[in-house]
Amino acid sequence: MKTLTLLCLSLLGLAAFAGAQTFTVTGNFQYEDKAWNYNGWNGSDPELPIRRADVFVLNAATQTVLGSGSTDATGEFSIVATSIGVADIEVRCDSDTNLNGSFQRIRAINTSGSTDYSVFSPTFNAHDTSTPLDVGTTTALKITSGGREANPFNMLDMGVDAWEYITGPLVNDTPVGNTVTVSWPGGSGSFATGSSANMAQDDGYDDAVILHELGHVIHNLYSDSDSPGGSHSFGQSNQDPQLAFGEGYATFLAGTVMIEQLNREAIYMDASGTSQSGGVGLRMRLETRAPYTNSTRGAADEVAVAAALYDLLDDETSPDQSFGIDDDGVIASSTINGLNAHRAWWDTFEGPMNSAANLTLNDAWNGWFSEHGAGGLHAEVVAAFENQLIYYSEDPDEPNEFLGDGVPIHGFGTWSEHRTFYHAPTSPPAPGEGDKDWYRFDAVVGSIIDIATRYPNGAADADTQVDTDLALWDPDDNKVAEDFDTGTGRNAAIRDFVITKTGSWQFRARSLHSYRVYGHYDYRVRFDFENFVPQITSGPNAAPMTIAEGESSSLTVTATDAQALTYTWTPLDGGTISGSGSAVTFNAPATVPSSEDFRVELVVSDVHGAESVAEIVTITVEPDESCGTPAAVTSGGMGKGGALGVPSLAAVGLPSLPNPSFALMADTLPVSSSAFLIGGLSFFNAPFDMGTMYPSPDVIFTRTTSVAGTLNVALPTLDPALCGVEIYWQVMVPNAAGASGTRQTVQTNWVHTVTGG
């Protein structure tokens, strides 16, 4: 009977609350920031407004919420609270935007507890709640973890800035349904997964790092990221292009938010959380790429990717070192089919890029022109990309697409000028995928030749995403040699080839990689033998990559060698392999308890036992999550009436999975009155206030009836975890005219719901 006693006390408390009055509580919440510039922390700790955050007026003694609302753009709030007589009042501000209307929900949470951070105003003792209360300004000060400084409200503010940019006039998109979280303190490195940005212990005040991680979140929520993750740093021009784009996009987004929302130069800055001034760990000016200006280039370089995208949106009004001028042709007055550059980019980002496989900068380029066509400012975009040595344009030898169209080589023994894998006969000339470059040279039988490609100017760090394939044809147009990756890095080379016939020979350069389809390279043909261990040149791949329990996936791989190859496929996490060779079948277990990744290791070996580097292909196996319980609603019992009659309770629809519209409706209730919706996991059926309480009072919702004496409570059934959950429901309204009993409650019948499929 303990639960019933608590309910009785709640009802008695509600009766006493009838004498409450409203009063207005105002004030301001600020947070202590840590100012920085290109040289790190500048020693200043300005106070900035906590914006769009949840605010609660509390009874300090009981922690009862008397009213709630949000801070505005200046940190101000004005909340109507309800209380009785004299009370000790305090105000709490949470690092959460849950109450801010239709704005994106953003939370700054503790990493270990997943709870909001909060700041409290002073307590105003014995306040007469019939009069307004101004609590003044409360400032959330720095906090530390392991000696590292941070402020969760600064992290919240960066999230607010990011979504004010997205939902503001430049982009004009809408929030997503996901709650975005920024958690602190993390470990030694910051990272993002799904809708969560996880900030390292040292990054709680690093605005650029916070915005960078939020850039990953935005990428995940509004488009599609195929970045494989892993270690990376500025100054690398030989990254996986998927990684380079994912990281470059995040840095670009951070810089864009800085110039558009914070009105400051776009700088990536990662500084020491223990320093009050200086403390620079990593920095970079996005406009000039300094101090990496001479070491970053190409679509496999995250800094070059970020700078190229940044040039699409910045203009002469951007607050950078070249304020008043722009280093590219996309200026403030530029429009793309009537759109500003921000919206034009966003349409590309949410549109074609969202459906691209193995997303890289190539897809950003292709998507831009598929979305905007001839209005896409082709010349200006080409120039912006080539500022970062990213070449998406035809070389001087085009067109040389077919056997017989080979252009004469520039000479023997020396490296050519740059050539690109790009050819587009359309207008605008995009996309340019599938380019083949054909060349010809004369050679005499018995000669030994070497044909190779290299990165531009022999760069050690690639400076390009290129992945070349070379093939050789004899004078009779027979293909006699082909190589994919014998050259340095991802380059091709046909080594020590013995010429078998005097005449004109042709070779073809192209890319076979699934997403390294563009890029630039040098080639060389010289007169002058390498043996090769097995090399996996494409794959291993799984099709499909996600299957259900008990299903199968086809595994394929391409490998080259002069000898016969053996393919050894080994399941590491369960499942079985059927078949042999470069195309086999992975058979998933009959059941899995939850979504699981199953890894299969592949080793390719030749007849002598030389083995390739082991490669891993991953197949995701999903369980059958269907709900076997049917949804149902039943009702019974009798209500207890008042002056208006006996109320009744009924369900609106079925609690099926999913049903966002499921609700309970009660009528014939006292008008504009406080009511209790009581839910119980068991059938209580006990006398109460000359009536009957049917459910065990496991959960109680407080609502207000309408002017028509009805109550409609939405109970959407969306979570699969609700499958099979049974609840008994009843509505009670205390202090009702004409109702019997000491508490004068009117009571409805009971409704029993079963959530199911």
Inside any domain, residue 401? no
Please state, in angstroms and rounded to a whole number, the distance separating the CA atoms of residues 296 and 390: 10
CATH of the domain at 430: 2.60.120.380
Of all residues in the chain, what percent are helix, strand and coil, respectively (each to 5)? 15, 35, 45
Residues 208, 269: Cα–Cα separation, whole Å:
6
606 in the same domain as 685: no
- Number of domains the chain is built from: 5
Which residue is it, tokens 């960078």? 212
Q: 52 falls in which pLDDT band (50, 70, 90)? A: very high
For residue 634, pLDDT over 60 is answered with yes
Residue 190 in this model has a pLDDT that exceeds 80: yes
**How far, rounded to the nearest angstrom, does the alpha carbon of residue 76 sit from its chain's CA centroid?**
31
Say if 395 falls within a structural domain.
no
Read off the pLDDT of residues 125-151 as tens digits, 9 standing for 90 and up: 999 999 999 999 999 999 999 999 999
Residue 667 lies in a domain: yes
CATH code of 589's domain: 2.60.40.10
Is residue 604 domain-resident? yes
The answer, yes or no, to whether residue 41 has pLDDT greater than 90, is yes
According to the model, what pLDDT value does residue 603 have? 86
Output the average pLDDT for the chain: 92
**144 and 250 share a domain?**
no
Query: Is residue 627 assigned to a domain?
Result: no
Does residue 33 sit in helix, strand or coil? coil
pLDDT digits (tens, 9 = 90+) for 360-375: 999 999 999 999 999 9
**Residue-number span of the structural domain to which 183 is assigned:** 152-386
Looking at residue 210, the DSSP 8-state letter turns out to be H
Is the confidence at residue 533, as pLDDT, over 50? yes
Q: Are residues 599 and 494 in the same domain?
A: no
Q: Are residues 227 and 259 in the same domain?
A: yes
- Let me know if residue 373 belongs to a domain: yes
pLDDT of residue 608: 54
Lowest mean pLDDT among 519-533, 542-556, 708-722: 519-533
**Residue 16 — pLDDT band, cuts 50, 70, 90?**
very low
DSSP letter (8 states) at residue 228: -
In this prediction, residue 629 has a pLDDT band, given cuts at 50, 70 and 90, of confident
**Residue 685 forms part of a structural domain:** yes
* Domain-located, residue 694: yes
**Does 518 score more than 60 pLDDT?**
yes
Residues 133, 67: one domain?
Answer: yes
pLDDT mean over 298-314 = 96
Asked if residue 9 has pLDDT above 60, the reply is no
Alpha helices in 258-402 (DSSP H): 302-313, 341-350, 361-372, 378-386
Q: Give the model's pLDDT for residue 2.
A: 30
What's the pLDDT at 445? 86
3-class secondary-structure state, position 213:
helix
**pLDDT tens sequence across 637-682:** 999 999 999 999 999 999 998 899 999 999 999 999 999 999 999 9
* 548 and 503 fall within a common domain: no
pLDDT bracket for residue 43 (50, 70, 90): very high
The model's confidence at residue 20, banded by pLDDT at 50, 70 and 90, is confident
pLDDT for 129: 96
Q: Give the CATH number for residue 649.
A: 2.60.40
- For residue 8, pLDDT over 70 is answered with no
CA dihedral of residues 743, 747, 750, 751 (deg, nearest 10): -120
Kindly state the average pLDDT of the residues 216-234: 95
- Residues 290 and 156 both lie in one domain: yes
Do 141 and 156 lie in a common domain?
no
Q: Give the pLDDT confidence score for residue 17 in this predicted structure.
A: 45
If asked whether residues 458 and 497 sit together in one domain, one would say yes
* CB neighbour list of residue 86: distance below 8 Å, 6 or more residues apart: 126, 127, 128, 129
> Residue 258, SS3?
helix
Identify the pLDDT of residue 7: 28
Across 455-515, the runs of DSSP E, i.e. the strands, are: 468-473, 479-483, 493-498, 503-511
